Amino acid sequence: MTASIISSIAFYVLQPFFGFIVGALFYWVFRKIRARLQARRGPPWYQTFADVTKLLFKESITPLIADKTIFYLAPLLAFTGYLVALLQLPIGNVYPPLAGDLIVILIFLTLPGVAIILGGSSSGSPYGAIGSSRETALLVASEIPFAISALVTGIQVKSMSIIKIVDAQNQFGPMAFHYPFATVAFFMCMLLKLGRKPFDIPDAEVEIIAGPYTEYSGSLLGLFEISNVLRWFVIPAFAVNLFFAGGLGNLFVFLTLCLVVVALISFLDTQNSRYRIDQAFNFLLTWATLLAVIDLVRASTGWALW
Amino acid sequence: MLKKIVSKLRKKSPWVMHVPCGGCNGCDIEVVAALTPLYDLERFGTLQKGSPRHADILAVTGPVTVQVKERLRRVYALVPNPKIVMAIGSCAISGEVFADGYAFAGPLDQIVPVDIYVPGCPPRPEAIIHGVAQALARL
Amino acid sequence: MNKQTITESIRGFISPKTLPYPRQPSVPPEGFRGKPEFDLQKCVGCGACAQTCPMGAINVTDGLERSIRVWYGKCSFCGRCQDVCPEEAIRLTSAYELAVFDKNKATADVKIEFESCPSCGRKFFPAPQLKKSFEKMEPILEKRNISNEELRSLDRVCPSCREKPEELSKRKLFLVNFG
């Protein structure tokens, strides 16, 4: 009894640090592969740690006309969203003590988008307002295929517990094999969740200075950076758990599969240019939703399964 | 102890904001060229940021004109401490060809405090990288 | 995303094109106009570079000795000083790493001593320039059979002292010869 309490507490304390460090290394892998594909060398391995440390110890200036409560709340909200989602995920052979739930993870993964919208609109600058409106449109467009393709796996297993989804894949093979359309739709939405091309409109674009992040500086921006680092672990880990059998119970295989996902995302990021907001909106609502709905129909009616 | 680690890591991640102040754009082209794959600055952790609130280094080029003077002061106030201001090009140091013009509002160090001067017309991208490295050693 | 971008990305992945600049020095091409530097042996102190500089970056200050100073903060590295110098004493080298913390330290200067007039003691002309002009006049003087030492003793006197009666009489010799 006490052993399980101690191991639960150890899990909840160590998991965020593990997520942050592995997320920082995955973010470095992304930047290195992107640099190499652009015929240049990339940053050294400690780059993400240096960026985050530098930001946390810089002076933080708040604009006078900003709404202070929401301005300070937004980075905290983004951090909370990724943190709670992180604590629900099984990692290789380590399962969370309280059963991870698919719907809870999906809800908490929308919080960072909401946080960006709140942060951008409360900062009192026109760049923030434009960034927030674009992020709203993209959030609405991407949640539909993201949620549908995630729920497809739950429908197949007839349970919303992510541990049961991983265990079922250990028996019947990875979901990516049975539901390839849902996997592709999930990948497209993953590019948006991570803020990569072709969907990186809110994330620090040159056209509107820095979008919703414009008026943030110092420690608040550092908190946004920490949540941006965490998402590089949470979202590939979520994808591997849902569609690639969670690493078959092996931590090493799990991390290797996450690295393959990160490498694929970096490759797609370098090859594509940025979509305009209406092009991204249309693309996600037509093609990605179509693919996700095909697999939803297949999963719920049991038609044409293989 | 913590201060030493933080100041060491601070030198490894300088984020640059480039402020062109009304010159011929020769120095602007060299600053942007320093960010291309040939002289890759991301090796040193440098990123080009759009918002002054995100930047550590202000790279100012061009002779400061009368119109830009107040706005440059506002941008300087927006950059959080600790910061470095670089005057890139001979125009930012003294006005060079434009020194007797009607639109010239003074060399850069009469408007904002400057940490390092990089002479050149325009300075080569390697000279700009050399200037950044020297300034970072004093951050 | 098409075949061309993919092949170029993979080619860039295999061999990056970044110059290893701060670790290895980067040599600029032939004829690169970098920092102007004085050759202290060749400069005669004529001040032609200061007169022709379009920015006014080269300044001549006369005191006990003549000091010619180029300030890189105003230099536009155009090379007119190099074109006009009669002795090729100022040259635009290929050094380009000129970053300084104090802008008044980005200078290069040369100091030339003055020639003193033997009768009034005033310093009126840079000594190397006088020496050089005598050297250049050698062939002309030989043709006219005037000895160089005579000319030298007469020309060392400053222009105001040349108007004095005792000096004027010495100079009548040359007026008769050229007649």
What is the rounded CA–CA span in Å between residue A89 and residue A77?
A: 19
Q: What's residue C178's pLDDT?
A: 56
* Residue A81 reports pLDDT greater than 90: yes
B99 chain-C contacts, CB cut-off 8 A: 55, 74
Interface of C with A in 12-41 (CB under 8 A): 12-13, 15-18
Tell me which residue in C55, C73, C77 faces B117 most closely, judged by beta carbons.
C73
Average pLDDT over residues A79-99: 88
Tokens of A137: 């449109």
Tokens of B12: 């490894």
Q: Classify residue C105: in a domain, yes or no.
A: yes
Q: Residue A159 contacts by C-beta under 8 Å, 6 or more apart in sequence?
A: A165
DSSP H helical ranges for chain B: 2-10, 26-33, 69-78, 90-94, 125-137
DSSP-derived pairing of the beta strands C90-92 and B47-48: unpaired
Q: What is the pLDDT of residues B35-52, one digit of tens each?
A: 888 888 888 889 888 889
A208 confidence band (pLDDT: 50, 70, 90): low
* Residue B21 reports pLDDT greater than 70: yes
* Residue C95 reports pLDDT greater than 70: yes
Tell me which residue in A39, A268, A270 faces C16 most closely, judged by beta carbons.
A39
* Residue A303 reports pLDDT greater than 70: yes
Q: What's residue C145's pLDDT?
A: 73
DSSP-derived pairing of the beta strands C65-71 and C107-116: antiparallel
CATH of the domain at B21: 3.40.50.12280
Q: Classify residue C17: in a domain, yes or no.
A: no
Please answer yes or no on whether A61 and B9 come within 8 Å at the CB atom. no
Task: Please state, in angstroms and as integers, the Cα–Cα distance from residue A217 to each residue in A72, A249, B70, B117, C138, following that order.
Answer: 11, 41, 22, 26, 74
* Residue A77 reports pLDDT greater than 70: yes
- Residue B34 sits at the vertex; the CA angle it makes with B22 and A225, to the nearest 5 degrees, is 95
CB atoms within 10 A of CB A7: 12
Of A59 and A265, the structure prediction assigns the larger pLDDT to A265
- Based on the structure, what is the number of domains in chain C? 1
Please answer yes or no on whether A216 and B53 come within 8 Å at the CB atom. yes
Q: Is B80 on the interface with A (CB under 8 A)?
A: yes
How buried is C79 (Cβ within 10 angstroms: 0-12 exposed, 13-18 middle, 19+ buried)?
middle
What is the rounded CA–CA span in Å between residue A123 and residue A197?
A: 25
What's the CA dihedral at A191, A196, A202, A204 to 10 degrees? Answer: 160
Q: What's residue B2's pLDDT?
A: 87
Q: Classify residue C22: in a domain, yes or no.
A: no
| Amino acid letter, B135 | A
Does residue B3 sit in helix, strand or coil? helix
Average pLDDT over residues C117-141: 82
What is the rounded CA–CA span in Å between residue C167 and residue A46?
A: 82
Q: Is C7 on the interface with A (CB under 8 A)?
A: no
Q: Classify residue C68: in a domain, yes or no.
A: yes
Range(s) of the domain holding residue B128: 2-137
Average pLDDT over residues C38-59: 90
Q: At what angle do helices A126-157 and A180-193 cross, to 10 degrees?
A: 150
- Based on the structure, what is the number of domains in chain B? 1
A200 confidence band (pLDDT: 50, 70, 90): confident
Q: What's residue B137's pLDDT?
A: 87
- Residue A300 sits at the vertex; the CA angle it makes with A299 and A302, to the nearest 5 degrees, is 65
Does residue B60 sit in helix, strand or coil? strand
* Residue C170 reports pLDDT greater than 80: no
Q: What's residue C115's pLDDT?
A: 83
What is the rounded CA–CA span in Å between residue A10 and residue A84?
A: 16
A117 confidence band (pLDDT: 50, 70, 90): very high
What is the rounded CA–CA span in Å between residue A260 and residue A274?
A: 23
Percent with pLDDT over 90 in chain C: 16
Residue pair B20/B32 in contact (Cβ under 8 Å)? The answer is no
Q: What's residue A104's pLDDT?
A: 92
> In Å, how far is B9's CA from the nearest CA of chain A?
5
CATH of the domain at C76: 3.30.70.20
Q: Classify residue C147: in a domain, yes or no.
A: yes
Q: Is A41 on the interface with C (CB under 8 A)?
A: yes
* Residue B85 reports pLDDT greater than 80: yes
Q: Is A213 on the interface with B (CB under 8 A)?
A: yes
* Residue C58 reports pLDDT greater than 50: yes
Average pLDDT over residues C38-55: 89
How buried is C116 (Cβ within 10 angstroms: 0-12 exposed, 13-18 middle, 19+ buried)?
middle
Percent with pLDDT over 90 in chain B: 47
Least confident window among B59-68, B80-89, C68-77, C147-156:
C147-156
Q: What's residue C175's pLDDT?
A: 58
pTM, rounded to two decimals: 0.89
* Residue A233 reports pLDDT greater than 50: yes
ipTM of the complex as predicted: 0.91
Mean pLDDT of chain C: 84
Tell me which residue in A35, A38, A221 faces B54 most closely, judged by beta carbons.
A221
Tokens of C131: 């020496």
* Residue C179 reports pLDDT greater than 50: no
Mean pLDDT of chain A: 89
Q: Is A50 on the interface with B (CB under 8 A)?
A: yes
Q: What's residue A123's pLDDT?
A: 87
